[in-house]
Amino acid sequence: MRLDNRKEHILDFIVRDFIGTAFPVSSGRIKEKLYRKQALAGSPATIRHIMLELDEDGYLYQPHTSAGRAPTEKGYRYFVDNLMEIGEPDYGIRHTLDEIIDNFEEEADSVFDELSRALASHLKLFSGIGFLDEGRIFGHGLPEVLKEPEFFENDVAVRFADFTENINGNIKGLADMEVDANGFGVVKMVFQDNDFGECVIFSAGPQRMNYEKANSVIKYAAKDIKKRKNKKHG
């Protein structure tokens, strides 16, 4: 069931703002930003009331007594299912991916490894690409991800490190966009290739990861590989 428009506006703003800053979002910040854009009508008291209702419905939580709100797992899931807007990646990463794919005459392992490094560098997430049929995945970016504040909590960092260590077995069972209860998120795309069989491209990080950006880049990379395949076989 969809939330009403005002709740969606506020939840959408909180998720996006928290993704960018990692700081809980206050009613004052919502008032300042959404009122300025004329995206929300209502008094400050109305905003606080809506935030409280989103709390009670499980979409937000208050990390500290006097702090603003942050999204819960349920809040992120609602954002991913209903509010995301997927566009085209920016020119820089498109150009980088195009150049790598254009040189696909090299050994596939080295190209897939280079692709995963490019994804990890651009998205600042643990990212990879690999051959599911062979159980070989090239992944990079774990040290950068573990610098995120969510992973300062040792148990979350350990769970994520364990996930990456066993990525070959873990990635198959995940949805295309997964907000994991263990405290992290995953975006993946599985596709078939005439040369390599079933392949996967993915990025993973904290629940606060930018799902829109990761999704757009991963889709573009998969499309590039398919274009290479079509050129080769067409």
Most confident option among 99-103, 107-111, 143-147, 195-199? 143-147
Per residue in 167-214, pLDDT tens? 988 888 888 999 988 889 999 999 888 878 899 999 999 999 999 999
Amino acid letter, 23: F
Per residue in 57-75, pLDDT tens? 999 999 876 679 999 999 9
More confident position, 106 or 9: 9
Domain residue extents for the chain:
5-83, 91-233
Query: What's the predicted TM-score (pTM) here?
Result: 0.90
Per residue in 7-26, pLDDT tens? 998 999 999 999 999 999 99
Amino acid letter, 218: I
Identify the bridge partners of residue 179 per DSSP, sorted by sequence position.
185
| Fold (topology level) of 91-233 | Beta-Lactamase (3.30.450)
- Domain 5-83, what architecture? Orthogonal Bundle (1.10)
Average pLDDT over residues 140-157: 92
DSSP string, the chain: -PPPHHHHHHHHHHHHHHHHH-SPBPHHHHHHHHHHTT---S-HHHHHHHHHHHHHTTSEE-SSTTS-BEE-HHHHHHIIIII----PPPHHHHHHHHHHHHTTTS-HHHHHHHHHHHHHHHHTSEEEEEETTTTEEEEE-HHHHTTSGGGGSHHHHHHHHHHHHTHHHHGGGS-SEEE-TTSEEEEEEEEEETTTEEEEEEEEEETTS-HHHHHHHHHHHHHHHHHHHHHHH-
Q: For residues 214 and 186, give the distance between their C-alpha atoms in angstroms, rounded to a whole number.
A: 9
